[in-house]
C-alpha cells in the first residue's frame, strides 16, 4: 500500500512512524513543517499521483483549502481520508468537494500515546454513503497497523466526543489556567490520572483545543451541561449551615464474611497485576522499537553496558522505595530476557 500524508505536524509525523513500523511505504508534504528527505514528496501533484490512500493530516480549519487543492488531482480508485478529531464538518466539506471515494477517520491516539507505546490503539472510521468499499479498505489499512477499528456515523462520533474528548480538554484547560498540577512536591494517587491528562493537553497542538470545542456541533451543549452541574454542586456545598449537606457514606460491596480485609487486599492485588501486565506489554513494544533501531545501525541486540547501568538504577530505585534490591534486580533480569527475545535474533 502506498500512502500519502498531507500535513507533517505532530500527528502527521506520528502517523508516518506508525506506517513505517507497519511496513507501509509513505510520502509526506507540508508547506511549513520539515519532512525528512527519504519521505518528502517534491510537490502536491507527485504526492497525490503516487498514493493509493491520501491522509489529510492538516488542522481542521485548514481542511477546506486542502480539499480544494487536492480535489482536481485525485483520480479513480484513490481514497482520501481525514484524521480530524471532529467528523461532521469534515464529512460535509469532503462531500462538497470530492467526487471519488472518501472516508472520515479519527485515530483515538496521538503522538504522546504512541511514544509511550500505549495499547490498544483504537481508530474510528465514519463510512460515507456510496463509498462502503473505501471504508472497508481504510479499515483494513488501520487493522494492518495493529489498530482496533470502530465504526460510527459522523454525528454519533461527534456526540460521543463532545461528552468525552471535548469535556476532558475543557476541564484540563480550566485546571491549567488556574495553575493546578504545577510544581507539586507530592500529590495523592487520585490526582495522578488528572496529571497525565494535563500533561497530554499541554503537549497537544495548540489548534486542537479550539477545533474540538468550536468545530464539534455538540460540544457547546456538553460544556453548558457540565457548567450547570458544577454550579449546582457548588451551591449545594455552600447551602444552609455553611458547608452544605454531608453526603452519606458510599455503600461498600460485601467483601466476604471470613476476612473482608483479605478479600479486598487480593482484589487490589489483582488490579495492580493487570496494570503491571499492561505496562509490560507497553515495555515490550518499546523494546521492539529499540530492536529495529539497533538493526538499522547494525548493532547487536545485547548491550551489556546499558543493561548493567539499567540494573544499577533499578537497585537504587528499590532502595529508595524500601524494597529488597536483590529481589527487584531479579524481576528486571527476567524483564530484560523478555526484551531481548522480542528485539529479534542476534547475540543475547
The verdict on residue 246 lying in a domain is no
**pLDDT for 203:** 67
Read off the C-alpha cell for 65.
483549502
Q: Beta 121-126 vs 102-107: how paired, if at all?
A: antiparallel
More confident residue, 190 or 121: 121
| Mean pLDDT, residues 308-333 taken together | 92
Torsion of CA 85, 88, 94, 96, to 10 degrees: -160
Question: In 68-83, which positions are buried (b, 16+ CB within 10 angstroms) versus exposed (e)?
Answer: eebbeebeeebbbbbb
Side-chain-facing half-sphere of 94: CA atoms under 13 Å: 28
CATH number of the domain residue 30 falls in: 3.40.50.720
Highest mean pLDDT: which range of 140-144, 189-193, 234-238, 279-283? 140-144
More confident residue, 190 or 43: 43
Closest by CA to 43, choosing from 14, 70, 65, is: 70
**pLDDT for 241:** 57
**pLDDT for 139:** 97
Among 152, 179, 211, give the residue marking a domain's end.
Answer: 152
50-83 pLDDT, tens digit each: 999 999 999 999 999 999 999 999 998 899 999 9
Domain of 47? 2-152
**pLDDT for 262:** 76
pTM exceeding 0.85: no
**Residue 222 predicted with pLDDT over 90:** yes
The verdict on residue 201 lying in a domain is no
- The answer to whether 128 and 95 have CB atoms below 8 angstroms apart is yes
Contacts of 135 (CB under 8 A, 6+ apart): 103, 125, 126, 127, 128, 151
Among 116, 137, 152, give the residue marking a domain's end.
Answer: 152
DSSP-assigned letter for residue 50 = T
**Residue 287 predicted with pLDDT over 60:** yes
295-320 pLDDT, tens digit each: 888 888 888 889 999 999 999 999 99
CATH number of the domain residue 295 falls in: 1.20.59.10
Side-chain-facing half-sphere of 159: CA atoms under 13 Å: 5
Could you give the CA distance from residue 47 to residue 56 in angstroms, rounded to a whole number?
12
**DSSP code per residue over 144-178:** HTTEEEEE--HHHHHHHHHHTHHHHHHHHHHHHHT
Among 131, 152, 173, give the residue marking a domain's end.
Answer: 152
| Averaged pLDDT score across all residues of the chain | 88
The verdict on residue 169 lying in a domain is no
| Low-confidence winner among 148-152, 243-247, 282-286 (lowest mean pLDDT) | 243-247
Amino acid at each position: 500500500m502506498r500512502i500519502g500524508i498531507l500535513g507533517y505536524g505532530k500527528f502527521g509525523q506520528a502517523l508516518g512512524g506508525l506506517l513505517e513500523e507497519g511496513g507501509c511505504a509513505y510520502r509526506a508534504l507540508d508547506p511549513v513543517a520539515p519532512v525528512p528527505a527519504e519521505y518528502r514528496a517534491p510537490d502536491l501533484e507527485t504526492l497525490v499521483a503516487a498514493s493509493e490512500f491520501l491522509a489529510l493530516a492538516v488542522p481542521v480549519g485548514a481542511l477546506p483549502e486542502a480539499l480544494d487543492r487536492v480535489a482536481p488531482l485525485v483520480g479513480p480508485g484513490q481514497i482520501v481520508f481525514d484524521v480530524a478529531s471532529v467528523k461532521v464538518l469534515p464529512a460535509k466539506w469532503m462531500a462538497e468537494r470530492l467526487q471519488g471515494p472518501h472516508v472520515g477517520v479519527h485515530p483515538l491516539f496521538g503522538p504522546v500515546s504512541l511514544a509511550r507505546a500505549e495499547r490498544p490503539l483504537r481508530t474510528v472510521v465514519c463510512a460515507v454513503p456510496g463509498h462502503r468499499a473505501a471504508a472497508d479498505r481504510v479499515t483494513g489499512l488501520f487493522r494492518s497497523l495493529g489498530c482496533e477499528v470502530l465504526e460510527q456515523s459522523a454525528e454519533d462520533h461527534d456526540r460521543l466526543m463532545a461528552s468525552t474528548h471535548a469535556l476532558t480538554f475543557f476541564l484540563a484547560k480550566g485546571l491549567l489556567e488556574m495553575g493546578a498540577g504545577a510544581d507539586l512536591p507530592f500529590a495523592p494517587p487520585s490526582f495522578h490520572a488528572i496529571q497525565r491528562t494535563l500533561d497530554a493537553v499541554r503537549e497537544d497542538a495548540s489548534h486542537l483545543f479550539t477545533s474540538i470545542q468550536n468545530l464539534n456541533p455538540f460540544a457547546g451543549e456538553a460544556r453548558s451541561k457540565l457548567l450547570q452541574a458544577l454550579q449546582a454542586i457548588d451551591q449545594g456545598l455552600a447551602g444552609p449551615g455553611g458547608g452544605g449537606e454531608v453526603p452519606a457514606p458510599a455503600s461498600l460491596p460485601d467483601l466476604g464474611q471470613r476476612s473482608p480485609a483479605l478479600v479486598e487486599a487480593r482484589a487490589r492485588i489483582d488490579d495492580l497485576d493487570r496494570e503491571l501486565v499492561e505496562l509490560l506489554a507497553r515495555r515490550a513494544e518499546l523494546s521492539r522499537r529499540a530492536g529495529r533501531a539497533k538493526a538499522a545501525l547494525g548493532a547487536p541486540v545485547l548491550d551489556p553496558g546499558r543493561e548493567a547501568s539499567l540494573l544499577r538504577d533499578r537497585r537504587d530505585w528499590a532502595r529508595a522505595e524500601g524494597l529488597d534490591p536483590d529481589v527487584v534486580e531479579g524481576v528486571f533480569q527476567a524483564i530484560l530476557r523478555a526484551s531481548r527475545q522480542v528485539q529479534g535474533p542476534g547475540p543475547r
